[in-house]
Amino acid sequence: MDVAVGSPLHLAIRSAVGGVLDAVEEAHREELDYDAFLAHRTVSRVRGTALVDGRSVPWTLIEKVTEGPELASPYLLDNGRREFAAYASALLDDLAPRVRAPRAHGALAEDDGRVTLWLEEIVHEGSRPLDADALLAAARDLGELAGRWLNRVPTDPWLFTGWITRHSQPGAYAEGLDVLAHEHPAAVEVLGERLSAAAVLVRGQGELRRVLESLPHTLCHHDAVGANVFRAGGGTVLIDWESVGPGPVGADLASLLLSSARRGDASAELVAAVLDDALHAYAAGVASVDLATVRRGFDAAAGLRWKLVRDLAASLERGEVPRRGSLPDEPPEQALRELVLLSDLQLDSARRVLG
């Protein structure tokens, strides 16, 4: 592919190589796998070599493109614009001692609403799914992020404030209660009393919101699932800052542990084993908030994810095999065990808050 001199991509390459860019010798683009439901969003790796101060230097960029309003959904458009604004504002330049975002080497907002970011590529130093050491280190670092911004969250209008509604999905309460009340034999056999406990949880969503809004607030990533968590350089690099905004202490930890297990970015069995240690690590990172407050934030945020039991019940009723998105080849019996254990963890959290 040709890279025109002075073009936004040319300027991004110059930033990436960090020297006097004499010429772009070669450039190639390869599209990366991305969430299929996010139509009109592409993420690509752009790489090649450049002549810098007389030397041939390799370079790599991650190119993230969100189409404008004529193509992209309002949800996707809003997310893309938010991440664009976060980088433009310099908010992501100084997050916490051991937490950072990929460096932005270039950005372009076009007249039709299309936005493009050219970002540093991050290489994860460790295994996937995340192991115990990675989870605990990330928990500590997310705690440091929370402590860094505690009670002084920026107030920019583009920050995301609807995270409770996004997780809780009020419009789905009635349908969810209906599914849970079916008590289909296949669902009862696997889930048993979890069905009625999940119904209690649906009815308690208003109380969970009240609890979360009453806790100390900080800056949250709001999508700190394992796929977005990279261990690199002795710290944590978080990608996809599309949902950045205010939230209570403990909220990001719920994403790291529970949402990761649901997607397959971590094992639910492992999460159960390290949960207490992760809460302590996060609280130690925050430093100025006690463990009980951190646990309350974590538990209430976990309770928002009530649809897990509903989705399991519906899947069993239809005779379908449950899947975890990041592990499409996981044996179905293993996936079911993981998701049922995760349901227990979430319902335990809900009971601690709702009584």
Rg (CA), the chain: 22
pLDDT given at position 274 = 98
Q: Cα–chain-centroid distance for residue 54? A: 41
Domains and CATH numbers, the chain: 8-119 (3.30.200), 132-354 (3.90.1200)
Task: Please tell me the distance from the alpha carbon of residue 158 to that of residue 7, in angstroms, as a whole number.
Answer: 28
Token digits of residue 134: 């990675």
Q: Tell me the DSSP string of 110-172.
A: -TTS-EEEEE------S-SS--HHHHHHHHHHHHHHHHHTTT-----TTS---HHHHHH-GGG
Phi-psi region of 192 (alpha: psi -120 to 50; beta: other; left: phi over 0): left
Per-residue pLDDT of the chain (355 residues; tens, 9 = 90+): 999 999 999 999 999 999 789 999 999 999 998 664 567 899 999 999 999 998 999 999 999 999 999 999 999 999 999 999 999 999 999 999 999 999 999 999 999 999 999 999 999 999 999 999 999 999 999 999 999 999 999 999 999 999 999 999 999 999 999 999 999 999 999 999 999 999 999 999 999 999 999 999 999 999 999 999 999 999 999 999 999 999 999 999 999 999 999 999 999 999 999 999 999 999 999 999 999 999 999 999 999 999 999 999 999 999 998 899 889 899 999 999 999 999 999 999 999 999 8
Q: Is the dihedral of CA 231, 235, 241, 245 positive or negative?
A: positive
pLDDT given at position 37 = 55
How many helices (H) and strands (E) the chain has is answered by 14, 10
pLDDT given at position 35 = 64
Tell which residue, 143, 168, 341, has the closest CA to residue 261: 341
Contact between 66 and 77 (Cβ < 8 Å)? yes
Q: Tell me the DSSP string of 292-332.
A: HHHHHHHHHHHHT-THHHHHHHHHHHHTPPP-BTTBTTS-H
**In angstroms, what CA-CA distances link 16 with 9, 45, 197, 201?**
10, 13, 52, 48
pLDDT given at position 12 = 97
Rounded to a whole number of angstroms, the distance between the first and last alpha carbons of the chain is 61
Tell which residue, 231, 227, 222, 255, has the closest CA to residue 99: 231
Tokens 């949902």 sit on residue: 243
